[in-house]
Amino acid sequence: MITIEKIEQMQAHIMAERQKGKTVGFVPTMGYLHEGHVALLKRARQENDIVVLSIFVNPLQFGPNEDFDRYPRDFERDYTIAKQAGVDIIFYPSVHEMYPHEPSVTVRVHKRIDVLCGKSRPGHFDGVATVVTKLFHIVMPHRAYFGMKDAQQVAVIDGLIRDFHFPIELIAVPTVREEDGLAKSSRNVYLSDRERQEASALYAALQKGKATIEAGERDVGTVRKAIIDYIEQHTSGVVDYVEIYSYPELKPLETLQGKIILALAVRFTNARLIDNIVMNVQ
């Protein structure tokens, strides 16, 4: 496994590998790797000749009240995890390397962002789309791997790839969960023991919503209420949102039909947890 910090070196290395006919799988991250990232890396390892992991804390996707400087960083730990997961190349650029001057062009996302977490984070997905565009041009992957834990981000990247005609296959990897169903997240450590026990109810609430639909319910409000009621009955958390949209378009629905997402965010004392499930409704 090698670490590359310079863009030109990264591009030259990948060009040489692609000219040999090798396929490239890419997992972009901001580091501080956890089991969700490992699942992406293992999937990429299974499906490609070369696996590239990028570690870059992107300042463009942090809002004015979000502390870029406090974002956790531990490259030595990430290096060990990456090596165990079978990564070939870590692309580890500095902020100056990625943004040597104020950008003259950035990417603006117009759709799929005014709902769910994007509603309270204006500009966040513009920053995501801009850095991912740059990384796609630098790494030149055949396949890019993103986790469905952040289904809104997957939807935005899907639109980016389609609209800009990137010759890249988007691989959306299922959410990695604890045995009791709780989505794995670095934020879970901020839950108290009681809250941790309660938190398994979030996935159970989504399953309750899914079962309600499978039983024949097609009214959005009725399904939302079933999910919210379950959360409020089984946790001390405060519901931030429970929403149901078409997926990946993330458009409101009058009646439930086609591919949809059930998504939620719940605030506990020191952690805000998100989760979702995507399903097809006939």
User: Which residues are known binding-site members for beta-alanine?
Assistant: 61
Calpha distance 282→275 (Å, rounded): 23
- What are the distances in angstroms from CA 240 to CA 109, 117, 135, 211, 273? 23, 10, 32, 22, 9
Identify the bridge partners of residue 268 per DSSP, sorted by sequence position: none
Residue 207: name the closest of 179, 226, 188 by CA: 226
Catalytic residue IDs: 37
Amino acid identity of 224?
Answer: R
Identify the bridge partners of residue 171 per DSSP, sorted by sequence position: 145
User: Which residues are known binding-site members?
Assistant: 30-37, 61, 147-150, 153, 176, 184-187
Contact 127, 108 (CB under 8 A): no
Identify the bridge partners of residue 2 per DSSP, sorted by sequence position: 89
